[in-house]
Structures are given as C-alpha cells and as structure tokens.
Amino acid sequence: MSDFHTRPMIRIGIVLGSTRPNRRGDQVARWVLEQAGARTDAEFDLIDLRDYPLPHLDEPAPALYSSGYAHEHTRAWSERIASYDGYVLVTPEYNHAVPSVLKNALDYLYHEWAGKAVGLVSYGVDGGARAAVQLRVVAGVLQMADVAYQVTLSLFTEWENMTVFAPTARAVSTLHGTLDQVVTWSAALAPLRKPAVMS
C-alpha cells in the first residue's frame, strides 16, 4: 500500500532576496505567500534575508566539502534552509544581475539546497529576467531543479507609479503555475534528498 497519506506535508520556503531600504520585494514576497496560502498541498513560509544578516562568505571551507560550519550565523541559516523541501526565490535585478546578498546567501550552503525544487519570481524594469537567468545557472550547480514556469514582474506594468504593487491577472496565473510545479517537483525529488550536515 502506498505511503502517500502518511508523508509529511511538503514545506516550501519563499526567500525574499533583497535587504535594500525601500525595497519593493517585500510587497512581492507577501503576495506570493498570500497566493500560496490558499493551497492545501504544501505549507509555505516567508524567509526574509534581513532576518539572517550573513557577512560576506566567511566560512573557512566550501560548503560542498564541509563536514560542519565554523560560525553560528551559518548554522542558523543552514537549519532554516534545511527544513524545506523546495523554494521560491523572490529577486530584484540590480545592474543586470542577482543581488549580492542573495548570491551570498546561496553560496553559504550546498547540501541544504541539493535535491530540491526552486521557482523564480523576479522583478525590475525588465521584469528581472536577467537575474532569473543567472539564478537558473546557480541552481543547477547547487543540484536544485529549477521549474519552467517563471514570474517576471515589470515595474512599468505591475506597479502603480513604480511604487505600489498591483499584479496583473497574467502574473497571478503564472504564479500559480510556478507554485504547481514547485510543489510537484519537491514531492517527486524527495527520494533524492539527503539530510544536510548542520553541526
């Protein structure tokens, strides 16, 4: 008999990848969490990088080869990220690239990301598309399965006066497609995941 009904609920972390003052990302991340809240196939949490002020990568060993972490801030970050089955990364685009704070947060860990699904929600003048392309490359190296559906939010069409977030119906529809894929792939990849080293 299948153990489908005894499996724990899939947990998805929504990572807010900007810590800049006056950031627009908090509006986007709250929208993602609100839309996800109507689902019954997974649990969703918001992970704000402001709550994890990681210095510029200061671990003495690369995360891929590490058997433990030297710093408490790394252990706290590892414990939080390891507790999820998949992720949605909410990212702006700065100078045609991923924000350094988000790249730094990704670089701190390896095994905690591996074997998990990730969806991308990007925003910016051109919808943050170039930042999302870079994140797909990074996700591949971290052994994450980046899903095909992607939300790109232009400051010209999804914000009132480039300040107040007002997502279009198309953005809502695309987000639900993204969440569908993240949850499905997170469940499918479960057999590949190994417990992360967090000590």
Per-residue pLDDT tens for 57-70? 999 999 999 879 99
> Percent of the chain at pLDDT above 70?
93
Contacts of 74 (CB under 8 A, 6+ apart): 54, 59, 108, 109
Q: Which residues are 87's β-sheet partners?
A: 13, 118
pLDDT tens column, 30-54: 999 999 999 999 999 999 999 999 9
> What per-residue confidence (pLDDT) applies to 184?
97
- Residue that is written with structure tokens 């499996």 in the block: 7
In whole numbers, what is the pLDDT of the chain averaged over residues?
93
Contacts of 76 (CB under 8 A, 6+ apart): 52
Mean pLDDT of the 151-159 span = 96
Nearest 5°: CA angle at 161, between 158 and 167? 15
Alpha-carbon distance of 74 to 89, in angstroms, equals 19
Least confident range of 2-6, 11-15, 23-27:
2-6
Mean pLDDT of the 6-19 span = 91
Kindly state the helix (H) or strand (E) to which residue 101 belongs, with its residue range: helix 100-107
- At 2, the pLDDT band (50, 70, 90 cuts) reads very low
Domain ranges of the chain: 10-192
Mean pLDDT of the 130-141 span = 98
> What per-residue confidence (pLDDT) applies to 193?
80
> What per-residue confidence (pLDDT) applies to 8?
82
* Three-class SS state of 63: coil
The answer regarding whether domain 10-192 maps to CATH 3.90.1150.200 reads no
Higher-pLDDT residue of 23 and 194 is 23
> Which among 112, 64, 119 has a CA at the least distance from the CA of 91?
119
